[in-house]
Amino acid sequence: MKLGIIGATGHMGLAITKSISNNKSFSHSDIMLSNASGNFSVLSEFPNLKSTTDNNVLLDFSDVIILACRPSDVSQLNLDFENKLIISVLAGATIESLIQALSSDHIVRAMPNLAAEFQVSFTPYLLSDNCNDSDKEIAERILNAIGESHCVSTEEEFNKITAISGAGPGYFAFILDQFIEASIEQGIDRETAKKACIQTFYGCGELFKHGCDSPAEVVTNMTRYKGVTAMGVEQLRLIPIKDIFSKVIQAAFKKANSNMQR
């Protein structure tokens, strides 16, 4: 399979390019990158990737294309994708709008987050009606190379998960920042507070990834005795955190819906 990545050196395009290039199941000579500027500094890390600023060259080369430019760049592409399989990560661009804009009805709409660079994105994806089993298999192979993919069946479901996992790194970064600031307020120096909070956050993620699959169970176990954690969690229980997260997700979902180009 020959893979083309349009917009390969932008924030998201580069995260995907690096992740896929680090995955041993993809041959570098089967990957072509394109961008607008011709600046491909990623080639110093992966010299066997092909590159071009001419998207027609990329189109001729590729069986599958990842579209990672900005939505506003799409009208300037002026390409006939000839029913090639396209995996779009464009925020707001629905399957219907992509079919119209790209002259292909083999479209996968995907929403990775920036953790794609470290192969840990959670990526919902939606297939156009004409996608077959082989298209789905290819999409999963590519999206699983940047983390964990999850197939959804409607644009609505796609937007709901986008409000959770697409925007999620922003929510957790916000919480982490507050955790750090609160630790500093207790007299811990900034450097130590930052390290302690980030490592605890990361360690907790690893815990759930590799062992425990029930956060509620962990809370129960850790608060069974009226120890240090129980005292902290008691304070958390005073705040309606679930209601707050409902509002956060609803607001992001509303925005994702209103951004849709049909």
Ligand X SMILES: NC(=O)c1ccc[n+]([C@@H]2O[C@H](COP(=O)([O-])OP(=O)(O)OC[C@H]3O[C@@H](n4cnc5c(N)ncnc54)[C@H](OP(=O)(O)O)[C@@H]3O)[C@@H](O)[C@H]2O)c1
Looking at beta carbons only, is 76 or 220 nearer to ligand X? 76
The strand pair at 31-34 and 50-52 is best described as parallel
Q: Smallest distance, Å, CB 16 to ligand X?
A: 9
Q: Does 7 bind ligand X (CB under 6 A)?
A: yes
Looking at beta carbons only, is 104 or 113 nearer to ligand X? 113
Looking at beta carbons only, is 111 or 161 nearer to ligand X? 111
C-alpha to C-alpha distance for 3 and 181, rounded to whole angstroms: 44
Instruction: Select the span of 86-94, 138-146, 175-183, 218-226 touching ligand X (CB under 6 A).
Output: 86-94
Q: Which residue is nearest to ligand X (CB)?
A: 10
Residue 103 CB contacts under 8 Å (≥ 6 apart), including other chains? 79, 80, 81, 82, 83
Run of H or E residues at 225: none
Q: Smallest distance, Å, CB 7 to ligand X?
A: 3
Cβ atoms within 10 A of the Cβ of 233, count? 12
CB 150 within 8 Å of CB 127:
no
Site for ligand X in 50-69 (CB under 6 A): 55, 68-69
Adjacent-strand bridge partners of 125: 110, 151
* Binding stretches for ligand X (CB under 6 A): 6-7, 9-13, 34-37, 39, 55, 68-71, 73, 76-77, 89-91, 111-114, 166
